[in-house]
């Protein structure tokens, strides 16, 4: 049974990562064709950094993603903290409304936001795309932070005030460290969703402003350039390295806690 389980997991992982491996291999192919291997080269990585269109789209993607994630994390964390302190019956309706952007079809959200921006007279561009990303990122932050809020021990908060802390000091010294893992998760989720988004960005941006997803979609009509393979390889490698470092750090902390208990 264990062998069958291992084989099944191996097949699933192979199915998920085989396309990425192929993309990474062809990022070193000297030919522009994706069907013929003509030799090993780093030329596409060199050309990537001299391609103004791709680098400009990457800058727009990262800038929009980081700003949207930061703003959404602040708003979503505050909302989750307030909802967690209220009774579940009162917060259920608010949560149902807050989760609509996450459950709703992206094309509906994108068209709705485009119509709203047009109605109030906002010119479509980077600012409107940023507002849109903040809008659909907030529910993910609430989803990540709210369970941590409900796990808080409020007696520690009261005890800190009895010992002389102000309410603000009690929050930052007692509550915030407990919420930090959820806040970090919400930030990373928001950043990932913002970088990955295409449909909402397509409807809420204007001429001259495009993120990576829109740029790749435009290139797909004439053929994906090999520089995109190189960029995708770099992004995958960076994300993989961050995940490995984070998991190794978490494992070390768990080992320290276990050794201290022993």
Helix (H) or strand (E) holding 58: helix 52-85
Residues 112 and 202 in one domain: yes
Residues 136 and 256 in one domain: no
How many residues are there in the chain?
A: 262
pLDDT value at residue 89: 61
Q: Which structural domain, as residue segments, surrounds residue 68? A: 52-224
Model confidence pLDDT, tens digit, residues 117-135: 999 988 898 999 999 999 9
pLDDT value at residue 25: 86
Q: Which of 231, 52, 65 is nearest to 134 (CA)?
A: 65
Residues 216 and 156 in one domain: yes
Q: Which residues of the chain have pLDDT under 70?
A: 34-35, 87-90, 254, 257, 260-262
Structure tokens at 170: 């009690």
Structure tokens at 61: 């993607």
Residues 95 and 197 in one domain: yes
Residues 120 and 44 in one domain: no
pLDDT value at residue 67: 95
pLDDT value at residue 157: 77
3-state class (DSSP) for residue 27: coil
Residues 80 and 164 in one domain: yes
What is the total count of domains within the chain?
A: 2
Rounded to an integer, what distance in angstroms lies between the CA atom of residue 170 and that of residue 114? Answer: 43
pLDDT value at residue 147: 86
Residues 160 and 220 in one domain: yes
The residues with which 29 forms a beta bridge, in sequence order, are 40
Residues 99 and 139 in one domain: yes
pLDDT value at residue 194: 92
Residues 90 and 212 in one domain: yes
Rounded to an integer, what distance in angstroms lies between the CA atom of residue 99 and that of residue 157? Answer: 29
The three-point CA angle 183-189-193 to 5° equals 145
Residues 100 and 202 in one domain: yes
Residues 26 and 149 in one domain: no
Model confidence pLDDT, tens digit, residues 234-247: 888 888 888 788 77
Rounded to an integer, what distance in angstroms lies between the CA atom of residue 17 and that of residue 224? Answer: 20
**Mean pLDDT of the residues in the chain:** 85
pLDDT value at residue 87: 66
Residues 98 and 188 in one domain: yes
């Amino acid at each position: 049974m264990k062998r069958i389980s291992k084989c099944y997991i191996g097949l699933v992982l192979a199915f998920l990562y085989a396309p990425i491996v192929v993309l990474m291999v062809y990022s070193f192919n000297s030919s522009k064709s994706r069907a013929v291997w003509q030799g090993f080269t780093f030329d596409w990585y060199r050309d990537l950094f001299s391609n103004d269109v791709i680098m400009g789209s990457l800058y727009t993607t990262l800038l929009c993603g980081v700003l949207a994630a930061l703003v959404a994390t602040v708003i979503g964390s505050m909302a989750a903290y307030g909802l967690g302190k209220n009774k579940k019956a009162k917060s259920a309706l608010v949560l149902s409304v807050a989760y609509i952007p996450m459950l709703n079809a992206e094309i509906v959200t994108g068209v709705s936001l485009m119509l709203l921006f047009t109605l109030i007279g906002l010119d479509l561009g980077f600012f409107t795309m940023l507002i849109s990303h903040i809008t659909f990122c907030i529910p993910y932050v609430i989803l990540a932070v709210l369970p941590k809020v409900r796990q808080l021990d409020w007696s520690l908060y009261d005890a800190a005030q009895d010992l002389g802390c102000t309410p603000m000091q009690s929050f930052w010294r007692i509550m915030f460290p407990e919420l930090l893992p959820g806040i970090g998760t919400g930030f990373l989720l928001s950043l990932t969703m913002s970088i990955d988004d295409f449909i909402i960005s397509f409807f809420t941006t204007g001429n001259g402003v495009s993120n990576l997803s829109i740029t790749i979609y435009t290139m797909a009509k004439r053929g994906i350039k090999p520089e995109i393979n190189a960029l995708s390889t770099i992004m995958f490698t960076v994300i993989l390295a961050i995940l490995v470092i984070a998991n190794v750090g978490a494992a070390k902390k768990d080992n320290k806690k276990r050794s201290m208990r022993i």
